[in-house]
Each structure stands twice: as C-alpha cells, then as structure tokens.
Amino acid sequence: MNRLIAVFYFVLSLYGFDVGSTIVDRINVDGSPALHSQVVAQPGVARFECLRSASGLCHYTLYPRECAPAAAPRGKRMDRCPTGAIRHFAVADGGSHQVTGLQRYRMCVSADERIPGPDCRIPAPVAAR
C-alpha cells in the first residue's frame, strides 16, 4: 500500500503538482544535540516545529528559491540575495509556527539569532575597533 501511495505522489509530481514534503534538521555541536527542527510544507502553507533547541529558540530564515547557492552560475558562490530574506522568525523550544502564502522558498534554521546568508552560513562577528 505504501508503495502505491509513493507511486501516486511521484506521478503527481511529474505533472507539476506539489503534494508537500517534510524537512528534518538536526544540528550537533561537539557531539551534543543543539537543534532539532521539523518543517511540514504543503502547497502554500508550512508548519515550522522547534522540537529542541539548546538556545531555547529555533531561528528560521526564508529566502526566495532563486537565492539558493545551486542557482548561482557555475564556479561562483552566491553570497547575497538581490531581494533579501522573505521572512525571519523564531519559534520557542517545543513550539510551532504556521506560515501561509509561501511559494518557492528556501529555508535556513539555526539556534543562533543572527540572520544567515542565502547559503545558510552565519556571518562572522564584526571585530570591535
């Protein structure tokens, strides 16, 4: 039965129907769990769940899909996004947040409140003078 459902979803995707996906991120720092996040995305709506965060918050940053590093010309790294982040928000440890109206986005999640670039890397702190 599960195989039949998988084939059905695959056929729908071939015709351009987006049936949704689940994205799970687990981040360990020095061997200890620092972040566990799950995003359940369906056409036009996504539910962001912060299952565990060492800082107490999961910080989500959403970029247009065109800002993905894979969209950069071959051999060039895309450091900036011409339109910037679509959204940046935090979800408390154990909480969830639902966002509607999302179309073709790329997500970064971190326990750090600083906004990452489109490649999901947190910028280095600026040295004080």
Q: What range does the domain containing 77 cover?
A: 20-110
Contact residues for 54 (Cβ-Cβ < 8 A; gap 6+): 29, 32, 33, 34, 35, 111
Residue 5 lies in a domain: no
At residue 79, the pLDDT reads 54
Question: pLDDT digits over 88-100, tens only?
Answer: 999 999 999 999 9
Query: Domain tally for the chain?
Result: 1
Residue 99 lies in a domain: yes
Tell me: pLDDT of 82 over 80. no
Q: Are 52 and 42 in contact (CB under 8 A)?
A: no
At residue 128, the pLDDT reads 61
Question: pLDDT digits over 98-123, tens only?
Answer: 999 988 888 999 999 999 988 888 87
Residue 118 lies in a domain: no
Residue 125 lies in a domain: no
Residue 9 lies in a domain: no
End-to-end CA distance of the chain: 64
Question: pLDDT digits over 41-71, tens only?
Answer: 988 899 999 999 999 999 999 998 887 555 4
* Nearest Cα residue to 49 out of 2, 90, 21, 106: 90
Residue 38 lies in a domain: yes
For the domain that residue 76 is a member of, what is the CATH number? 2.60.40
Inter-CA distances, 118 with 56, 96, 99, Å: 23, 23, 20
